[in-house]
Structure 1
């Protein structure tokens, strides 16, 4: 009887609401997509990082991949865990702040200092209702953009970046926030200051906001016209011990490196060396590899970029080594880089490095994978260009159009 009772005590039924629809484990950090379905943050971020644009549970196409913390569900899971297994209970949520909505409104309209901003940030984090209250306040966004542009105190800059990050989760006000930030050159300069002097968390959030507001050629040009922003984002990508910082910096650079000037700045600030170092790591983060190759693809669209990549022969070799080794997205970026230096630039040394890494076979493997039509066409052109660099040309003839017999390496 005692043994049966103990077995009953060990059996705990997990409420379905608390399980992540992807991992089926109890959620540690529940976040919701725009479809209303909640997932564990780590699971949904992995899903989105693979290039999926749908909600895993409903298969609806996602107009936005932004996630919103489900604070209510997080508290419920915490309470449940604390009663079933205290050892597994996550840290308790932060205590509710002492600031009321009236006091929050006073802070928004009054003079700003670090102490009052910290209270407002805590107020916004306490609940989704508080966040909406600030985000939809008519004077909040213009005031914070003004404070950010005018203040030279780094702590205030860090806190306002956190406010921007919280507000940007509200789709209804995001366009207004983007518009006001882009209309002020001083505001963009303040982002460069936070990227240079702020703590790592504020640097990552600054990079994400800059990527978020780079919506069209006009906004991309305005950001790219700030060389300090590009330089400090490049510096962020060298933070080898902090993979989220590296990914955030690379992702922002990929979004804004759409002008010739921006690409030349990227080359000047050493992005090719940085990308090569990321690709050469024994076990790099998937997101970092994808973003590094995306930046290189963008740089390779200008003559200077193709020359810089081709001159760094080891970088070309690392790109070839990563083909079919990370993800479909990374492979397509990589093919675009190799095609740019071999077919557009027709660089002989680059062709030799590609051929020396068994590049023809790898390009043929990409051709038989589920790649896009444009990537497949680049692969065809690469095979033709690389044939001259292969010692046994005759063996390549049947591979040009028939590739299904090749086994994965």
Structure 2
């Protein structure tokens, strides 16, 4: 009776920080959403599984449904429970010892043992180094990733690869083994097609990471299913982090004319135009930056310049974004506009840029702290666009001399 009373007292005095906002119970596996609010994993996964796209506590629309383990809060809850009622204390974060981790690396594995290994690696930097620097870990997991038919096992191995890739000393070895196995690249395509959002994002980041030189870029781009599934990632409307990861990976691997032509055929110009025209894009500068970087890459081939110029709305959106996002995004945007207006000399594109008050915006870019090459492109754009600007409402163009970088304020 006394013990039951003590339990009730403990229940009343649970710190609010330790309660899940959904279940109101003490969290066993706290994870945080991108809004910064932490929930118990089981509760938030049920909420998201029901199709909700909002944070339950704040009702904010979620740009990403990825969750991040809150290990600090988990340790605090464990410490608090161990001092109040040991019977309620959850098991320690590490479910396996180093010896058991070594056994998992070398032996037969299933999803359960792989999950334990992932938790072991996340628990501390020392544990991560123990696995990453194990002589048999990387070859073993590359082989298993290539051979396994279970999507959950592949998802967990992608997580292992993602953790290992943070170790500079072994990253080269990981990249080499992944690229030397055609089956391994095919497995990435499978994860991008069938895996959960988190594993798709991590797969895209790993592919970007291993695209270190023309040879590796070509190997990845030559896998048609990889290029297709990375493109499909950019069309995701529910998760901006997935779109950003897809765009960034494509910009890294689409370095051959064939790859760029494939992306144009798939509809990448239309997809990027949609991203740029999204009203919420202004609050996602990294997303806009990645989208414009990919367009700059596509614009280096004749087919790319033609496709961009033909999509008048895409050209207009690029001009509208100048000086409204990061400096890097603006420089990518200027490179694309210069490619279609100066390099391709497309008159329709020139008229569209001029119609969006392009001369004024290009002059403003020149006055910013941009790179010398960007400033030179701006000078050439002003010369080309001047003839198209007669219907432009710009108040700055008449005062500008292309030999200087000064814009008269009145």
Band the TM-score falls in, shorter-chain normalisation = 0.7 to 0.9
Greater Rg over alpha carbons, structure: 2
Give the 3-state SS of the residue equivalent to 2:12 in structure 1: coil
Question: What are the Cα deviations for residues 101-133 of structure 1, in whole angstroms up to 9, with x where unaligned?
Answer: 111111111122212211211111122111111
In 2, Cα distance between the equivalents of 1:325 and 1:194? Answer: 35
TM-score if structure 1 supplies the norm length? 0.75
**C-alpha displacement at 1:10, in angstroms?**
23
Question: What are the Cα deviations for residues 339-383 of structure 1, in whole angstroms up to 9, with x where unaligned?
Answer: 000111111110110010000111111111100000000001111
- RMSD of aligned residue pairs (Cα, Å): 9.5
Question: What are the Cα deviations for residues 138-164 of structure 1, in whole angstroms up to 9, with x where unaligned?
Answer: 000001001111112111110100100
**C-alpha displacement at 1:214, in angstroms?**
0.9
The answer to whether the Cα contact below 8 Å between 1:293 and 1:333 also exists between their aligned partners in 2 is yes
Bigger Cα displacement from structure 2, 354-363 vs 272-281:
272-281
Bigger Cα displacement from structure 2, 167-176 vs 49-58:
49-58
Bigger Cα displacement from structure 2, 369-378 vs 60-69:
60-69
Bigger Cα displacement from structure 2, 334-343 vs 70-79:
70-79
**C-alpha displacement at 1:338, in angstroms?**
0.3
In 2, Cα distance between the equivalents of 1:113 and 1:223? Answer: 28
In 2, Cα distance between the equivalents of 1:118 and 1:328? Answer: 41
Indicate the residue corresponding to 2:49 in structure 1.
Answer: 49
**Alpha-carbon spacing, 1:29–1:117, altered in 2? closer, same or farther (3 Å):** closer
Bigger Cα displacement from structure 2, 23-32 vs 98-107:
23-32
Question: What are the Cα deviations for residues 285-317 of structure 1, in whole angstroms up to 9, with x where unaligned?
Answer: xxxx00000000000000110011011000000
Equivalent positions of 1:4-403 (< 5 A) are 95-279=92-276, 289-391=288-390, 399-401=400-402
Give the 3-state SS of the residue equivalent to 2:285 in structure 1: coil
**Alpha-carbon spacing, 1:3–1:380, altered in 2? closer, same or farther (3 Å):** farther
**Alpha-carbon spacing, 1:266–1:31, altered in 2? closer, same or farther (3 Å):** same
**C-alpha displacement at 1:400, in angstroms?**
3.0
Question: What are the Cα deviations for residues 77-106 of structure 1, in whole angstroms up to 9, with x where unaligned?
Answer: 9979999999999xxx98423211111111
In 2, Cα distance between the equivalents of 1:381 and 1:170? Answer: 45
Question: What are the Cα deviations for residues 191-246 of structure 1, in whole angstroms up to 9, with x where unaligned?
Answer: 01100000000000001101111111111111111111111111111112211111
In 1, Cα distance between the equivalents of 2:405 and 2:50? Answer: 25
The answer to whether the Cα contact below 8 Å between 2:95 and 2:119 also exists between their aligned partners in 1 is no
Give the count of matched residue pairs.
401
Give the 3-state SS of the residue equivalent to 2:334 in structure 1: helix
In 1, Cα distance between the equivalents of 2:345 and 2:373? Answer: 19
Question: What are the Cα deviations for residues 45-89 of structure 1, in whole angstroms up to 9, with x where unaligned?
Answer: 999999999999999999999999996799589979999999999
**C-alpha displacement at 1:186, in angstroms?**
0.8
The answer to whether the Cα contact below 8 Å between 1:67 and 1:169 also exists between their aligned partners in 2 is no
The answer to whether the Cα contact below 8 Å between 1:29 and 1:41 also exists between their aligned partners in 2 is yes
**Alpha-carbon spacing, 1:107–1:125, altered in 2? closer, same or farther (3 Å):** same
**Alpha-carbon spacing, 1:395–1:195, altered in 2? closer, same or farther (3 Å):** closer
**Alpha-carbon spacing, 1:329–1:268, altered in 2? closer, same or farther (3 Å):** same
In 1, Cα distance between the equivalents of 2:270 and 2:62? Answer: 35
**C-alpha displacement at 1:401, in angstroms?**
3.2
**Alpha-carbon spacing, 1:11–1:188, altered in 2? closer, same or farther (3 Å):** closer
**Alpha-carbon spacing, 1:6–1:199, altered in 2? closer, same or farther (3 Å):** closer
Give the 3-state SS of the residue equivalent to 1:11 in structure 2: helix
In 1, Cα distance between the equivalents of 2:143 and 2:344? Answer: 46
**C-alpha displacement at 1:271, in angstroms?**
1.0
The answer to whether the Cα contact below 8 Å between 2:31 and 2:68 also exists between their aligned partners in 1 is yes
Give the 3-state SS of the residue equivalent to 2:4 in structure 1: helix
In 2, Cα distance between the equivalents of 1:148 and 1:122? Answer: 18
**Alpha-carbon spacing, 1:165–1:110, altered in 2? closer, same or farther (3 Å):** same
TM-score if structure 2 supplies the norm length? 0.75
Give the 3-state SS of the residue equivalent to 1:35 in structure 2: coil
Q: Which runs of 5+ in 2 are unaligned?
A: 277-282
